[in-house]
Amino acid sequence: MLASSATFSSRAFLRLIEGDGLIGTWGWTFATNEHVWSLGLWHLLGLEPGLAPPTYRLFLDFVHPDDRFGIETEAEIVQGYIQQDRTFRIIRPDGTVRTLSSCNELYFAATGRPRALAGMVIDITDQVALARVQTAQRQRKRALFDEHRIISFAISEHRDFEFPQEASDLTGYSVADILADPFIACAVEEREHWSGHTMERMQQGIAHHATPLLQMADGTRRRFSISVAPVRNAAGAITEWSGIQRPVEISGRVASDTMREGLEQAVEGRHLRAGRALLDWSMTDLAKAGGLSLSTICRLEDDAEALAARSRHRAVAALRAAGIRFTFTDAGTVALTLV
């Protein structure tokens, strides 16, 4: 079809925006008490379209009891009293709870009397869940810093450093200054060495370890252990670097999911064989513990599986569960111990 002859109806656009099941629209004409719900709204509520006559009262029946306070009644809406934007939860017939964000608009007659209401609801459950996870992660990282002075950070694939506020609290330098010069807090006599060491290892695309002496915000100097590991995609390309910094006297622990992912990708076939040897496991034992096939274990130990393969994660997780601990040595290589 030629672009000049293409025509689109509002119904076609509605199907387009509601196609992923996350958006629903509705309308209410006060004079006739007619309610119109889009297919998307029925699906958001977990109902079969047309199962019951659409009404405002039916919609309210799905609102979570704890969120009903303050939601306008039918009488209030007809009089023109309604909050334009609102976030609330619903409980579907199957018991699942979803979080919705609504946007409403009143329409008025020439006399100024409310005559209709239209609205749109968007399912933001995943966004809310993600925000909660991110908040929990920030709180966890802050607790690690407050108690142990542990900081996790990231470096983009283009080698742009990303530091949290804790880095500023630790050294006294602003985040902007640290981003401009990631080695600004390093003791002058060691700065060139550790800067060159880090950039060389990143150029080589390998995990690395450093123990620089850093300037503290209170004027003292303290030595830290810093481990950095590349995180790769399924094609083996580095997508970012994940790092953790902690005082040297604190034993090493992986403090972020990305750091763990990078460490696991650094585990080679020889490490899996070493882990099995420490546990006195056969390849069959590892396959059973990891829920993998024997042929998959063979490929992993022959380094024939992709660095980001899920099977690698399952094999490493099985060894961890059995007591094998994976850490980075000072040389940036992977070491195994049985705990």
137-149, pLDDT tens digit by residue?
788 888 888 988 9
Confidence of residue 331 (pLDDT cuts 50, 70, 90): low
Task: State how far the Cα of 255 lies from the Cα of 18, in Å rounded to an integer.
Answer: 40
Residues paired with 123 in a beta bridge: 100
CA atoms within 13 A on the CB side of 302: 7
Domains of the chain in sequence order: 7-123 (3.30.450.20), 126-253 (3.30.450.20), 267-339 (1.10.260.40)
The DSSP line for 313-332 is: HHHHHHHHHTTEEEEE-TTS
Task: State how far the Cα of 175 lies from the Cα of 164, in Å rounded to an integer.
Answer: 7
| Mean pLDDT along residues 315-335 | 79
Q: What is the pLDDT of residue 6?
A: 41
| Mean pLDDT along residues 198-205 | 89
Task: State how far the Cα of 325 lies from the Cα of 319, in Å rounded to an integer.
Answer: 8
Q: Provide φ and ψ at 41, rounded to 5°.
A: -70, -40
| Mean pLDDT along residues 22-38 | 90
Q: Say what the pTM is.
A: 0.57
**Residue 196 above 60 pLDDT?**
yes
**Distances 287 to 228, 271, 311 between C-alpha atoms, Å:** 29, 15, 10
Structure tokens at 326: 């994976």
Confidence of residue 214 (pLDDT cuts 50, 70, 90): very high
CB-CB contact of 226 with 244 (8 Å): yes
Q: Which of 33-37, 47-51, 92-96, 260-264 has the lowest mean pLDDT?
A: 260-264
Question: To which H or E segment does residue 166 belong?
Answer: helix 165-171
Task: State how far the Cα of 109 lies from the Cα of 29, in Å rounded to an integer.
Answer: 12
